[in-house]
């Protein structure tokens, strides 16, 4: 195994199933073998100052909403073998107590998020780029389920953000990078076995390439 960690970027739009993919993927490794850095934890905090109407209109789907420098610096720290300590982002929930995240360096580092290929300084670090591709209608249904149940948004708020923020940002800041990704994974089903099979294949490849398993 070389000293430099192997960096995997996992990108996909809202509702693409990145979380499920990562859950399946991480199950193939121990905590000593892999670590995860999520772009979501680098949102610049703004929501505590907003009214509900301001929150609805605020576009969280733009690169400027992310603390890009901090995100890059933490990835670099992990590459250099340093542990990263930070608070998780609680998605505008004033009642949630953010966990303190301790991200320890590992031979495989996964970086996930909407803008990881758009942020050129981060894209340049990636040894493997994975694009999670999903039909728009399916992604919207997943987004509705998540935001209505888990985050307490109204149906109108979700639809407003979807049409005015989510889809335009996806088309501008992520979709152009699909064709240059090393692996494009289509995730239009809810069948766990399909994703398990795909992550089996990728993890086997990485075990041989990065961890030296045969």
Q: What is the DSSP letter of 162?
A: I
CA distance 196 to 101: 26
The answer to whether the beta carbons of residues 123 and 181 sit under 8 Å apart is no
What tokens appear for 166 in the block?
Answer: 């989510």
What was the pLDDT predicted at 214?
Answer: 56
Residue ranges of domains in the chain: 6-208
The answer to whether the beta carbons of residues 141 and 17 sit under 8 Å apart is no
Name the stretches of the chain with pLDDT < 70.
Answer: 1-2, 47-49, 91-95, 190-192, 214
What was the pLDDT predicted at 1?
Answer: 42
CA angle 156, 160, 166 (to 5 degrees): 135
What was the pLDDT predicted at 30?
Answer: 93
Q: Which CATH number fits domain 6-208: 3.40.50.620, 3.40.50.300, 1.10.3720.10, 3.40.50.2000?
A: 3.40.50.300
pTM listed for this prediction: 0.88
């Amino acid at each position: 195994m070389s000293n430099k960690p192997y960096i995997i970027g996992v990108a996909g739009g809202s509702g693409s199933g990145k979380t499920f993919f990562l859950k399946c993927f991480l199950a193939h490794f121990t905590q000593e073998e892999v670590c995860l850095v999520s772009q979501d934890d680098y949102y610049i905090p703004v929501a505590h100052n907003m009214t509900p109407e301001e929150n609805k209109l605020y576009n969280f789907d733009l690169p400027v909403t992310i603390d890009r420098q901090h995100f890059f610096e933490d990835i670099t720290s992990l590459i250099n073998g340093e542990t990263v300590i930070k608070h998780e982002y609680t998605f505008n929930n004033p009642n949630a107590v953010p966990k303190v995240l301790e991200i320890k360096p590992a031979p495989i580092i996964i970086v996930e998020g909407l803008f990881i290929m758009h942020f050129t300084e981060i894209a340049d670090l990636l040894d493997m780029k994975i694009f999670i591709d999903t039909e728009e209608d399916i992604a919207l249904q997943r987004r509705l389920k998540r935001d209505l149940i888990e985050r307490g948004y109204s149906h109108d708020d979700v639809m407003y953000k979807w049409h005015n923020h989510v889809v335009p940002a996806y088309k501008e800041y992520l979709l152009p990078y699909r064709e240059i990704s090393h692996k494009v994974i289509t995730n239009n089903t809810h069948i766990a076995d399909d994703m398990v099979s795909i992550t089996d294949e990728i993890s086997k490849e990485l075990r041989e390439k990065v961890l030296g398993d045969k």
